[in-house]
């Protein structure tokens, strides 16, 4: 069994309580440590305390939106190497291109992936 030190930490920035619950359960079942932030403000508070191994980022959020969160993280030298996966319902080609141009590692459209498929995509970033 992996200790907490060896487990990968994921920060889920999502404002939908239902999705927060589903993704938290799925990732924990796979051995990840999950922190959740329903807003950009809360996300930055958590990141100050512990830089996650990967951030799963929604774009449409209350307060600071996902675009600004992404820009801020990628502009910070201590965070610029953090993997950021956008998980959003925004599916226009221009939005996907914008996310990748701003530094997202990958862009997943919520409606095209089940929660289990999202977990499988994230696991690819952490080979055993």
Sign of the C-alpha dihedral, residues 41, 73, 120, 91?
positive
Alpha-carbon distance 40 to 55, whole Å?
A: 12
- What domains are defined for the chain? 9-118 (3.40.50.2300)
Residue, of 10 and 128, whose pLDDT is higher: 10
Mean of the per-residue pLDDT values for the chain?
94
For residues 95-103, give the mean pLDDT.
97
Confidence label for 1 from pLDDT (cuts 50, 70 and 90)? very low
Its pTM surpasses 0.95: no
For residues 77-84, give the mean pLDDT.
90
For residues 111-119, give the mean pLDDT.
96
- The length of the chain is 128
37's tokens: 């932030």
Confidence label for 72 from pLDDT (cuts 50, 70 and 90)? very high
User: Which of 21, 116, 99 is CA-nearest to residue 60?
Assistant: 99
């Amino acid at each position: 069994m992996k200790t907490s030190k060896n487990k990968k930490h994921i920060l889920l920035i999502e404002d939908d309580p239902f999705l927060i619950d589903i993704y938290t359960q799925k990732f924990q079942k796979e051995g990840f440590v999950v922190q959740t932030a329903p807003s950009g403000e809360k996300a930055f508070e958590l990141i100050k305390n512990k830089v996650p191994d990967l951030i799963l980022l929604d774009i449409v959020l209350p307060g600071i939106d996902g675009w600004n969160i992404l820009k801020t993280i990628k502009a910070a030298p201590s965070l610029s190497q953090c993997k950021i996966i956008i998980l959003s319902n925004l599916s226009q080609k221009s939005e996907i291109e914008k996310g990748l141009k701003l530094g997202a590692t990958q862009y997943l459209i919520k409606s095209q992936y089940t929660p289990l498929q999202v977990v499988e995509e994230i696991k690819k970033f952490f080979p055993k």
